Amino acid sequence: MNNLVFGKYMPLDSPIHKLDPRAKILAMLVMLVAVFMPSGWYGYLIIGVVMILVIRLSKLKLSFVIKAFKPMIFMMCFLFIINIFGYTEGTLLLSVGPLKIYWEAITHTLYIVIRLLLMIMITTVLTVTTKPLDLTLGIEYLLKPFKKIGVPSHEIAMMISIALRFIPTIIEETMRIMNSQKSRGVDFEEGKLKEKIMAIVSLIVPLFSVAFQRADDLANAMEARGYNPSGTRTRYKQLKYEMRDVILIAGAIIILVMMIMLAIFL
């Protein structure tokens, strides 16, 4: 769990860190749309190269970002197996009894896995290079136009900010509880299925208790400070677009257009 990267902000001095959070959020949304374009291997290669360049500009180690893939390995393997044996059309590649594997099933599954990896990479770069408070401010600014139709932009932004902020805290609490339970003789790695289930229960129950207690403390602290989500708020930090932010958004749009062109002509 110490390897969990998503939600952790890395305070580095890089061009990506200095970008406006609104520009980074918009660029992320555009890139996610580009990922879902059926642009083939060339499209995924272009997006992958662009993301590696962005990671280098962020002064992040590629190995650090790769750590974000680890929590998703099980789901990727599950998707891989389900798609390979669930896809029953195309060129037969291998037949073992009732099980048949088609070449199109492998390529289709690889498309899904690569899309998932690119999505994780894009969102990880955003959360690692943007302070949670700036992320909240950016989301709130972007949702402001929707206030006219009753969308609570500030409340949504605040919930997202608190959720992102609590990810590292919950991980720390989990490690602390696991170490405490290990010192009492609980084994999380070995033993029978029933013993493993009991070990997990001994972890989950106190973790939920701590999480609810922290949430209650936070609510009391916000109430004591007179926090009113529907009230008029002023900001010490004002966000302003600069030329580098425009270049970022324009670059993301160009990549999206390229993916659309590849999807049409390939």
Mean local confidence (pLDDT), 197-209 = 81
d(CA 121, CA 48): 9
Confidence of residue 90 (pLDDT cuts 50, 70, 90): low
Whether the CB-CB separation of 141 and 239 falls below 8 Å is answered with yes
CB 105 within 8 A of CB 90: yes
**pLDDT exceeds 70 at position 117:** yes
- Distance (Å, rounded) from C-alpha 198 to C-alpha 46? 47
Task: Give the span between the Cα atoms of 155 and 230, in whole angstroms.
Answer: 8
- CA atoms of 20 and 22, how far apart (whole Å): 5
Mean pLDDT for the stretch of residues 72-94: 72
- pLDDT for 122: 92
What's the pLDDT tens digit per position in 218-246? 889 888 888 777 766 666 777 788 899 99
> Which residue did the predictor score with more confidence, 8 or 139?
139
pLDDT of the residue at 248: 94
